[in-house]
Structure 1
Amino acid sequence: MNTSTATATAAVAQDVKEQVAQGVTMLDRITNLLIDRGPDILFAIVIFIIGRYIAKLLKNIAVRMMTHANYDHTVITFVSQIIYYAVMALVVLSAVNKLGVPTTSFIAVFGAFGLAVGLALQNNLSNFASGLLILIFKPFKAGDWVNIGGVEGSIKAIQVLNTAIITKDNKTVFIPNSLITSSQVTNSSYLDERFIPFLFDISYNNDHHKAISVLKDIFAKDPRILNNDTMEIGIKEFADNSVRIAAYPKVRRQDVIPTTYDIMSAVKDAFDANGIEIPYPQRVVYVQKAEQKDN
């Protein structure tokens, strides 16, 4: 073997020896790291697995709640994803922190970013939070007939930032959720049975006992009225031009409008047939003639 070949062989052997030494050193470092940080790594993995399970659980709970409240599918997907990723962000930060990686800087950056976004989207975030409150407390659901801030109609959909209402004349009104949570909401569909507040005016010249008897007979003939035996009916007040008789029949929720129309028509026919006058508004005007002066 010549000198150059021996030199090359020695160089190769030296490289192999160095690589083996580096490999052993790296293996020793990994072994020491696993021994020193093994429990923390194990806890970090456990935190991630349990945290992911909790995130999925909260997401599924939110989906079930919003589905039960008849939220739009797009809203359900959007809100559930926000909940899932928000929880997962906390889980990842907790796991990384357990590994010994400082997370203070990350939290500060996220906090500053969140503050900037919050200030920029303050009104939208308020509407979003109000939408969640509507979901939790459920003052109404899709299909309910409501009156919100003077807008009356049927709830079409509860969306992320607003609620859509279909009015009687088939218009769609979008009301911001923050206005709903700060306004009076009248839900006519909340209960299965409702009272219809009737108010009938008759002339002072008519017999109010007869008028009440006629009204009771009309109510008794309508099978949709549920409280004929206990219904409140009587004189409510003496107005300027009429005696006002109030009646409060109870009907099922879906019978309110047709019963109202039918009763009003029947009362007009019965009053006309029995000579009971529905008075017009009256006003007495005195005209004073000015005295003529002598020339």
Structure 2
Amino acid sequence: MTFAAANSVTADVQQQVHQSVTALDQLKDFILAYGPDVIYAVIIFIAGRYLAQFLKNLVSKMMTHANYDTTVNTFVSQIIYYGIMALVVLSAMNKAGIPTNSFLAAFGAFGLAVGLALQSNLSNFASGLLILIFKPFKAGDWVSISGIEGTIKGIQMLNTAVITKDNKAVFIPNSVITSSQVTNSSYLEERYIPFLFDISYNNDHHKAIDLLKEVFQKDKRILNASSIEIGIKEFADNSVRIAAYPRVRNHDYLSVYYATMSKVKDTFDQNGIDIPYPQRVVYVQKQEDILPPSEDTGSSS
């Protein structure tokens, strides 16, 4: 090897060593400048992930304890988890020095587009959250919503399933529920049965009321038999209407209703109390009674 070649190799080695030292210096400067922020970003991500998981499990346990539907429980807990994780990731990126303005703008534009495309569905989703928060009903309750009456099967993301008396599943949008009147017959443990009995004007209403009281007192499922509210409600066209309001437990409502109706019919029949039906009185007049008498136009002789 010549002296010139040796000098060339030495120069190359020195250049590579200088580049390596420069790279190490740059790496050291980068670590000193951004290292703490990167470490803080990692800590934020790890702590935020544990926090999101903790809140997810906490909400899931609370909803399970409150007897919420399993589907709704899973959905809400997942929404909470991923919502918190999105904030955690953005916070970590911002702490690490990565600009997040472009991400926020992209997410905003995406959210606006999705919101415009799914406006009605988002309304149903928000209404579903309101139903979960205020709990006007729960699975198994007997409700009446917009003319639909049945048992709540489950509260879903966009609608609520109701099973009708004839075993049909009706899915009502959640936004309709929050903007309509909801009648929950299972909200309280006890209910009143509003009875209305018609008797003839020729019958003794005192006797009819006493017979009704006897019927109610014999049924042990009626809770207010000794102090039941009962009396004449109105004088109808064809009958005297007697109202009665026995109080029963929710699960006894239908059985007491049907049994009472049957027992009252038998009792009225045995005691000569008539249950009238609509009647009309029709007056018929002869034609000669309606037309004026004709004048005699003949000439006399």
In 2, Cα distance between the equivalents of 1:12 and 1:145? 92
Aligned to 1:132: 129
Q: In the alignment, is the contact (CA less than 8 A) between 2:69 and 2:139 conserved in 1?
A: no
In 2, Cα distance between the equivalents of 1:114 and 1:86? 13
Aligned to 1:198: 195
Residue 69 of structure 1 deviates from its aligned partner by: 5.2
Query: Which range moves more in the overlay, 36-45 or 187-196?
Result: 36-45
Query: Which range moves more in the overlay, 57-66 or 125-134?
Result: 57-66
Residue 259 of structure 1 deviates from its aligned partner by: 0.5
Aligned to 1:152: 149
- Computed over aligned residues only, the root mean square deviation of the Cα atoms, in angstroms, reads 2.2
AA paired with 2:186?
A: S
In 2, Cα distance between the equivalents of 1:149 and 1:181? 11
Aligned ranges 1:69-80 → 2 under 5 Å: 70-80=67-77
Q: In the alignment, is the contact (CA less than 8 A) between 1:232 and 1:248 conserved in 2?
A: yes
Query: Which range moves more in the overlay, 219-228 or 281-290?
Result: 281-290
Q: In the alignment, is the contact (CA less than 8 A) between 2:152 and 2:160 conserved in 1?
A: yes
Aligned to 1:214: 211
Residue 288 of structure 1 deviates from its aligned partner by: 4.6
Aligned to 1:83: 80
Q: In the alignment, is the contact (CA less than 8 A) between 1:145 and 1:187 conserved in 2?
A: yes
Deviations 1:221-255 (A, max 9, x none): 11101112222111112222211111111111100
Distance 1:11 1:194, change over 3 A: farther
Tell me if 1:40 matches 2:37: yes
In 2, Cα distance between the equivalents of 1:118 and 1:182? 21
In 2, Cα distance between the equivalents of 1:84 and 1:215? 60
Aligned to 1:3: 2
Deviations 1:107-159 (A, max 9, x none): 11110110000000011111111111111111111111111111011111111
Query: Residue 40 of structure 2: SS of its match in structure 1?
Result: helix
Tell me if 1:234 matches 2:219: no
Q: In the alignment, is the contact (CA less than 8 A) between 1:118 and 1:125 conserved in 2?
A: yes
Q: In the alignment, is the contact (CA less than 8 A) between 1:212 and 1:234 conserved in 2?
A: yes
AA paired with 1:166?
A: I
Calculate percent identity across the aligned residue pairs.
70
Distance 1:12 1:231, change over 3 A: farther
Aligned to 1:188: 185
Aligned to 2:299: none
In 2, Cα distance between the equivalents of 1:76 and 1:3? 81
Residue 89 of structure 1 deviates from its aligned partner by: 1.2
Residue 283 of structure 1 deviates from its aligned partner by: 2.1
Query: Residue 229 of structure 1: SS of its match in structure 2?
Result: helix
Q: How many residues align?
A: 292
Distance 1:288 1:52, change over 3 A: farther
Could you tell me the TM-score, scaled by structure 1's length?
0.90
AA paired with 2:211?
A: V
5+ residue gaps, structure 1: none
Residue 93 of structure 1 deviates from its aligned partner by: 1.0
Could you tell me the TM-score, scaled by structure 2's length?
0.88
AA paired with 1:119?
A: L
Q: Which has the larger radius of gyration?
A: 2
In 2, Cα distance between the equivalents of 1:69 and 1:121? 30
Aligned ranges 1:29-178 → 2 under 5 Å: 29-68=26-65, 70-178=67-175
Distance 1:24 1:203, change over 3 A: same
Aligned to 2:298: none
In 1, Cα distance between the equivalents of 2:190 and 2:9? 95
In 2, Cα distance between the equivalents of 1:64 and 1:170? 32
Query: Residue 225 of structure 2: SS of its match in structure 1?
Result: coil
Q: In the alignment, is the contact (CA less than 8 A) between 1:227 and 1:249 conserved in 2?
A: yes
In 1, Cα distance between the equivalents of 2:76 and 2:8? 65
5+ residue gaps, structure 2: 296-301
Residue 62 of structure 1 deviates from its aligned partner by: 3.5
Query: Which range moves more in the overlay, 247-256 or 13-22?
Result: 13-22
Residue 209 of structure 1 deviates from its aligned partner by: 1.2
Query: Residue 276 of structure 2: SS of its match in structure 1?
Result: coil
